[in-house]
Structure 1
Amino acid sequence: MSAVLRRNSDLSSAVAEARALYTAARPNSAALHEKAVAVMPGGNTRSVLAYGPFPTAMTRGEDCRLWDLDGREYLDLCGEYTAGLFGHSEPRIHDALHAVLKRGTNLAAVGEGEVKLAELLCGRFPSLQKVRFTNSGTEANLMAQTAARAFTSRRTCMVFRGGYHGGVLTFPLAGPSPATLPLPFVMANYNDAADATKVARDNASDLAAIIIEPMLGGGGCIPARPDFLQTLRDLADETGALLVFDEVMTSRMSGGGVQQRLGITPDLTALGKYIAGGMSFGAFGGRDDVMALFDAKLPHAGTFNNNVLSMAAGKVAMGEIFTPEAAEKLFTRGESLRARLNEVGKGLPFGFTGMGSMMTVHFRDPLPEAPYAASAEEESLRELFFFDMMAAGIYLARRGMVALSLPVADSDFDRFVAAVGEFVEARRELLQQKQ
C-alpha cells in the first residue's frame, strides 16, 4: 500500500485514488471489459462478478493462486464463493475427470457414478434419506420448494430478509428481488424468533415450507443462532410445514453440514457449490416420504443432472478428499483465522462475522447478528478494503466475503492477517471517523 494512500484522510478521495490505482494496474482487464459490454449486458454473465470500474479478468489458477490478464498473481481467498473448496488444481479430481472423459461425456443413461455419490451424501447428512441431483444450488432450492408444496398441498413459503437461495430466489431487506420468481412468499426477520413465530402462525393454514440458510451467505456470513433454528424446527412441526435448510454454502461446516454440527435436522436440504469438485452441481433431498413423490407423481427433468463429469468428480471429492475429518480441520482453522482478524480490528468499527471457513468483513461495532442496510459510508469502506486487498495481491469477493479452500496454508493466513493489519493502520483515521 502506497504512502499516498496512507496520507489520505478523506473517504471519498481515498476510494477515488484506490480505483485509479486499480485501473492503472489492469489495462488488459479494462480492454476485455470494453469488448464484453458490446456483446453482454453489463459486460458479464454473472452479476456477482460485476463491479466498477471493471472486474479483474483471471486467466489461470493453481492450488490457491490466481493470475489475471495483466500477469498479476493473487492469493485466492474468494474460493469461487465456496464452490472452489479444492482449489484450482487438485490432481485427484483432475485424474477423475480425465478418466471419465476418455469413456464419453453425454451418455443419456443412468450410471454407477450417480449411485455412489448419492450413497456418500445420504451417509453424511442427517436429513438425507433420499437425494436427487440438479445443476446448481438455485435449482436445488426450487425443487425443494416444489416438493414441499406438493407434499403439503399448500402454496406459501416462508423466507427471511437478507436470504439468498439462488438467482431467482433472492430476498433483500426491502423485499424480493425483481428477478425472484412470483411465488407466494412471506418474509420474516432473520434471527428474530418472535417475528418468525408470528409470521408462521399467521400463515399456518397455507404454509408449505420454511426455508433458511443456517448462515447467511450473500447476506454477510451471519450465522443463525441455534435457538432460532430450533424455533423454526418447532414451528414447522406445529404448522405442518416442511423445514428446508439451504446448505448450499454451509454444508462444508462439518462432515454433515450445520445440521449435524447443531443437531437440528430439517425435513429437506439443498446442496450445491463444491460437492462435485468444482463442476456444476446441485442436490436436494430429505425425508423418504417426501422424496417418494418423485417416484411417480412429480417429474424432475434436467439434461445434465447426472452428467458424468460432476458425478465422477463428486465421488472423489466427497469420498476421498473432503472427508468428515478434513471438514472438521478446515472448520477449526477458519474459526482461528477469524479470531485473529477480529483481534486486529479490536476497538474499531471493523471485523468479520462468519462460521468456520466462511467470513465477511463489516464496518460496524458491535458486529451484526442480523442483516442490515449498509450506509453509504460503510459501502465506501467495503470498496476501499476490496481495492486495498487487491493491491496487496489478495483476491476476495467484492462484498468482502472470504471462503477458504483446502490448499490455503497457514503462511497464507499470516499473509492475510498482515494485509488486514496494514489496512487497519493505513485507514485508521477513516475507520475512527466512522465511530
Structure 2
Amino acid sequence: AAGGCLTDVDGHSYIDFTNDMSAGFYGHSNPVILAAIRGALDKGISFGGPHKHEVALAEDICRRFTSIERVRFCNSGTEANLVAMGLARAVTGRPLVLAFHGGYHGSLATYVNVEAPLNVDKLQMRFARYNDEKDVLRVLEECGAETAAIIVEPMMASGGGILANRAFLAALRALADNFGALLIFDEVVTARLSPGGLQDLVQIRPDLTTLGKSLGGGLTFGAFGGRAKLIDRLDPSRPGAILHSGTFNNNVLTMTVGHIGLTQVATIEALQAVNARGDKLRHSLLKVATERRTALSISGYGSILSLHFQPAAPRNPTEITTTPTQRKLFHLDMLLHGFYTPRRGTINLSLATTDDDCEAFVNTFAGFLDRYSAFLPHD
C-alpha cells in the first residue's frame, strides 16, 4: 500500500476508501510518519518506564481536547473503553453502565448484538435507543441509582455512521449529572473530525473521552482521558491508587508517531480540507442517485460517510432498511471496478485521498446504480 492505493496478492490495484476502518487516516506509508518510525527504531522500542515521547503526545492531546485534563495510554480503543467503564464503576461505587443498541465500543463491547459471545460485563450493562432521550430517561428511572456511566459514540460507526443530535447529547449530559453518573464519549473514530473531536463541534463536554485508531498514526493505539480528579485516581504515586498498567501502553513507536502525526500531519488545515472533500463527495453521490431516482441517504460527518439505500437517513440502527444483500452487491461491484470499500457501506477518506479519486468513485457509483437498478429501492 502507498498513499491512497493498495494492491492485493493477485496484483489488482484499488483506490482505498476503507483506510483501515478509519485508522489509516494519514494514508499509507506517509513519508513524515515513516521517517518518525525509522528515527524511533534507532533509539529503542520499549523502555519500561516514562519517556519524553509520551509526555509530548499527552500534551498534544490535552491541548486539542478541552475536556481532557489528564490522559493515560493503552493499546487499543477497545481497551480504552473497557478501562473507562471500569474506572467509572470504581469511582462511583455503582455497578451498571448504560450504552446504546447498535453501539460499538470494541471487540469485547459490541452492542450491534448485545449478546455477542465475547462481550464482557453483560450483566452490568443496560441499553437504550440512540437519539432517543426519552428512552434513556426510562432506563435511568429504573436503575439510575446504580448507574456509574453513560457511554456513547457521538457518531455511531459500526452502527451505520449515524450522527447524534446535539440535543440528544445535551440531554445525556444533563441526565448524567441529574443521576450522578459519568458521561463517556467514545471518540475512537470521531476524534479525526476536528482538532478537538466531535465534542468540540457540538460543544458538549464529557467526563471521560476514549481515543484510538487514527491518533496512533497507523500503529496500535488507545487512550482515555478526562477530568483530572478522575484520571488522577489511577496515579500510582497517590495513596489508594487504582491499578492501571500495560507493558506496551507507552511504546516508543506509537508515542513518537502519535506526536508527529498530530503536530505535522493532522493539522487544522488538513482536517478542514479532508472534511470539505468528504462534503463534496456526499453531495455528488446524492446528485447521481437523485438523477436516477434511486433512494439514497448518506449518514456521517465530513470525511466519514455511510451509504444507505433508503430515502430517509436513519436516526438509530433500528431505522436502517438497507439489506445485507444490497450492501454485499455494492461492496463486490466496487471491488471489481477498483475501489476498496467496507462491506457495511462506510467510506473513510484519508489525507491521501484526492479529488480525482473522489470523482472516479462517483462515476463508478453511478455505473453501479445503472447496473443494478432492479435490486435497489427508488423514490
Give the one of 255, 277, 280 matched to 2:195.
Answer: 255
340, 356, 360: which one aligns with 2:306: 360
Whether 1:403 and 2:342 are equivalent positions in the alignment is no
Task: Decide which moves more: 75-84 or 397-406.
Answer: 397-406
What is residue 109 of structure 2 aligned with on the other side?
169
- Report whether the alignment pairs 1:369 with 2:315: yes
Alpha-carbon distance in 2 for matches of 1:324, 1:167? 31
Deviation of the 1:430 alpha carbon: 2.0
Runs of 4+ deviating beyond 3 Å: none
Decide which of 274, 294, 299 is 1:348's aligned counterpart: 294
CA shift, 1:390, in A, is 0.2
2:171: which partner in 1? 231
Equivalent position of 1:309 in the other structure? 253
- Deviation per CA, 1:82-118: give whole Å up to 9, x if none: 1000111111110111011011112212110000000
Within 1, Cα distance between the matches of 2:295 and 2:137?
32
Describe the superposition over 1:52-107 as per-residue Cα deviations: whole angstroms up to 9, x where unpaired: xxxxxxxxx00010000000000000010010001111111101110110111122
Number of residues paired by the alignment? 372
In the alignment, residue 193 of structure 2 is paired with which amino acid? M
Gaps in structure 2 of 5+ consecutive residues: none
Distance 2:206 2:117 in 1: 29
Hey, what's the Cα distance between the residues in 2 that align with 1:230 and 1:149?
Answer: 22
Q: Counterpart of 1:180?
A: 119
2:334 counterpart of 1:389: yes
What is the CA distance between 1:280 and its match in structure 2?
A: 0.3
How far 1:403 moved relative to its partner?
0.8
Report the equivalent of 2:214: 274
Aligned to 2:41: 101
1:429, distance to aligned residue in structure 2 (A): 2.2
SS in 2 for 1:202: helix
1:166-192 deviation digits (Å, cap 9, x = unpaired): 0000112x5332211034000000011
Conserved? CA contact 1:64–1:87, under 8 Å: yes
Structure 2: distance between partners of 1:131 and 1:382: 38
The residue number in structure 1 matching 2:2 is 62
Q: Counterparts of 2:364 and 2:249 in 1: how far apart (Å)? A: 41
Shift, 1:267, TM fit: 0.4
> Equivalent of 1:430, from 370, 375, 378?
375
Give the conservation status (yes or no) of the 8 Å contact 2:308–2:320.
Answer: no
Preserved CA contact (<8 Å) 1:351 1:361: yes
Aligned to 1:49: none
Report 1:288-307 matches (<5 A): 288-296=228-236, 297-307=241-251
- The CA distance in 2 between the partners of 1:338 and 1:380, in whole Å, is 22
Local SS of the residue matching 1:203: helix
Report the 3-state secondary structure (helix = DSSP H, G, I; strand = E; otherwise coil) of the residue aligned with 1:372: helix
Write the deviation string for residues 319-345 of structure 1: whole angstroms up to 9, x where unpaired. Answer: 111022322222222122112212222
SS of the residue 1:352 aligns to = strand
1:203 paired residue number: 143
Among the aligned pairs, what percent are the same residue? 41
- Give the drift of 1:374: 5.8
Counterpart residue identity of residue 119, structure 2: T
3-state SS of paired residue (1:69): coil
Amino acid at match of 1:108: G
- Hey, what's the Cα distance between the residues in 2 that align with 1:395 and 1:272? 22
Structure (1 or 2) with the larger CA radius of gyration? 1
Show CA shifts across 1:141-195 (max 9, x none): 01111111111111100000000000000112x5332211034000000011110
Mapped to 1, the partners of 2:245 and 2:157 lie a distance apart of 28
Instruction: Give TM-score, length-normalised by structure 2.
Output: 0.95
Contact conserved, 1:255 with 1:328, CA < 8 A, in 2?
Answer: no
Partner of 2:281: 337
Q: CA RMSD in A?
A: 1.4
Question: Aligned pair 1:149/2:89, yes or no?
Answer: yes
Distance in 1 (alpha carbons) for counterparts of 2:267 and 2:205: 20
Which position in structure 1 is the counterpart of 2:358?
A: 413
SS of 1:75's equivalent in the other structure is strand
Q: 1:84 aligns with which of 24, 30, 33?
A: 24
> 2:314, 2:320 within 8 Å by CA — same for their partners in 1?
no
